[in-house]
């Protein structure tokens, strides 16, 4: 049974691997806000335990075993988020922090009960896929709104879940999961987007915000 801290390392390595080509100890250090000396020590320990491989200067890579553990934690995190929203009526910007704690103490029985009560969901409230019990995860084909072409209509399928401020802002302007968005214009100056949200009037959003909204072509 890995410790809470070990679980956090594995989870973050997994997530970083989907975004960055190299997951170095120093990148991890930055993400986890732990000194690189400490990360280095921990990586050494995890490599000895067989959950990952570290090639210095090339980055770490989870083993089958490590990936399985990481997906377990991510599954618990996302199931719990879904539960917070659907059963306890939390807002979507309040749940990430809560789930950070609960993901580590959920027993298998608990996981199964929640899965059942929610009717075996496949997405969490931000549109992230929930890994299944057998460890499979549906890759998300969505791309950031910032990459959408001018004059196209897209549908919001996922939103970055790490900033509750962002989530609050999106709710306030009416950007929620499954909304249709028409991309009217992209300003050359700073890549701001002028968009029209289905059933509402036009607004302008910054490039940084657009990078955190994931969409699919309709």
Partner DNA sequence: TTTATAGTTTAGGTTAACCTAAACTATAAA
Contact positions vs a copy of itself (CB under 8 A): 87-90, 94, 98, 101-102, 105, 107, 109-110, 113-114, 117
* Under rule CB under 7 A, residue 117 binds DNA: no
* Per-residue mark of binding to DNA, 129-148 (x: CB under 7 A): --------------------
Question: Given the structure tokens 């939390």, which residue do they identify?
Answer: 90
* Under rule CB under 7 A, residue 41 binds DNA: yes
* Under rule CB under 7 A, residue 34 binds DNA: yes
Q: Which of 37, 173, 203, 218: binder of DNA (CB under 7 A)? A: 37
* Under rule CB under 7 A, residue 189 binds DNA: no
Cα 125 to its chain centre, rounded Å, is 11
Contacts of 9 (CB under 8 A, 6+ apart): 28, 32, 42, 43, 46
Alpha helices in the chain (DSSP H): 4-17, 25-32, 36-49, 64-86, 95-102, 108-117, 164-173, 207-210
State which residue, 100 or 216, has the beta carbon closest to DNA.
100
State which residue, 27 or 106, has the beta carbon closest to DNA.
27
Contacts of 187 (CB under 8 A, 6+ apart): 193, 194, 204
State which residue, 61 or 98, has the beta carbon closest to a copy of itself.
98
Q: How far apart are CA 42 and CA 87, in angstroms?
A: 37
State which residue, 5 or 26, has the beta carbon closest to a copy of itself.
5
Q: How far apart are CA 32 and CA 130, in angstroms?
A: 22
- Interface residues toward DNA, by CB under 7 A: 3, 5-6, 22, 24-27, 33-45, 54, 56-59
């Amino acid at each position: 049974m890995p410790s809470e801290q070990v679980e956090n390392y594995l989870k973050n390595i997994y997530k970083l691997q989907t975004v960055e080509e190299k997951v170095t100890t120093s990148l991890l250090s930055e993400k986890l806000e732990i000194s690189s000396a400490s990360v280095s020590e921990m990586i050494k320990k995890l490599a000895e335990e067989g959950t990952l491989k570290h090639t210095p200067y090339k980055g770490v890579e989870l083993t089958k075993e490590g990936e399985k553990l990481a997906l377990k934690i991510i599954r618990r995190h996302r199931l719990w988020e879904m539960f917070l929203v659907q059963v306890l009526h939390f807002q979507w910007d309040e749940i990430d922090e809560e789930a950070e704690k609960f993901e580590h103490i959920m027993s298998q029985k608990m996981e199964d009960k929640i899965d059942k009560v929610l009717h075996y969901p496949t997405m969490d409230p931000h549109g992230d896929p929930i890994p299944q019990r057998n460890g499979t995860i549906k890759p998300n084909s969505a791309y950031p709104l910032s990459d959408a072409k001018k004059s196209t209509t897209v549908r919001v399928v996922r939103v970055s879940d790490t900033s509750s401020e962002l989530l609050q802002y999106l709710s306030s302007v009416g950007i929620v999961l499954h909304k249709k968005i028409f991309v009217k214009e992209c300003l050359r100056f700073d890549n701001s987007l002028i968009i029209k949200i289905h059933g509402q009037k036009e607004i302008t959003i910054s490039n940084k915000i657009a990078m955190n909204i994931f969409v699919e072509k309709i």
